[in-house]
Amino acid sequence: MLTEIVPYQADHIPEVLAFNARLRAAGVDVAFGMRSLLRETNEVPARSPGSGLFEESFLAVEGQAVRGGYILQHQDFLLYGKVESIGLFRHPLSEGTTDRRYSLVGPRLLRDALRRQPLLHGAGIGGHDVAAARLLKTAGFAIVTVPFYFRVEHAARFLREVRILRSSSLRRLAADVGAATGIGAAGIGLAQRYRSGRSKPGGAS
């Protein structure tokens, strides 16, 4: 049966759970939406009127079965003096990583994203050798290593909103206590000063 690409709907969730279970059983362990392989809910952030920033989720389905998916994030950029909507191809995942019968699902996901958003790029894909990078390179995309700089400016807000720090009830409690008492801000500040000192020329490597 042919695979088709469709918007992620609530009635797809049981098959998304089954897809994730198949890939986990095959030893695939990558983050998609921080907590799972494919998002196990079809909820996406609400689109803010006039913001030019929103995202959509799509699935590759074969009959009822889910064989892959991706997130397409749209964002307005000023490009050569003109505002253009540019797409971010996020978290593409295909059952072709574990079953050669679905090796064409990945390219189909990319073609679908390009059809919906011709000005397309990827970011934060994890390295030149991961499946997503190989897919983009094969399609003619330039793959460039970009240095990553991360700094927390508002520690309390960071502790209350960053999902990876709130993935369990114990972590949520610790993050909330750190945000409310200022302990988290102090700890983050010390860690950032330490890392900044190590990165200065002549510092320890």
Q: Model confidence over 144-200: pLDDT tens digits? A: 888 877 889 898 999 988 878 888 888 889 989 999 999 988 999 898 888 777 655
Q: Which of 200, 192, 186, 198 is nearest to 151 (CA)?
A: 192
Q: Domain boundaries in the chain?
A: 4-138, 155-199
Does pLDDT of 127 surpass 80?
no
Does pLDDT of 120 surpass 90?
yes
Higher pLDDT, residue 163 or 81: 81
d(CA 205, CA 191): 16
Please tell me the predicted confidence (pLDDT) of residue 199: 57
At residue 56, the 3 state secondary structure works out as strand
d(CA 29, CA 80): 40
Neighbouring C-alpha atoms within 13 Å toward the C-beta of 46: 2
The DSSP secondary-structure symbol of 116 reads H
CA 175 to chain centroid, in Å, comes to 22
Does pLDDT of 33 surpass 50?
no
Please tell me the predicted confidence (pLDDT) of residue 95: 93
d(CA 35, CA 183): 26
Please tell me the predicted confidence (pLDDT) of residue 203: 41
Q: Which CATH number fits domain 4-138: 3.90.1300.10, 1.10.8.350, 3.40.630.30, 2.40.50.220?
A: 3.40.630.30
| pLDDT tens digits, 134-143 | 888 888 998 8
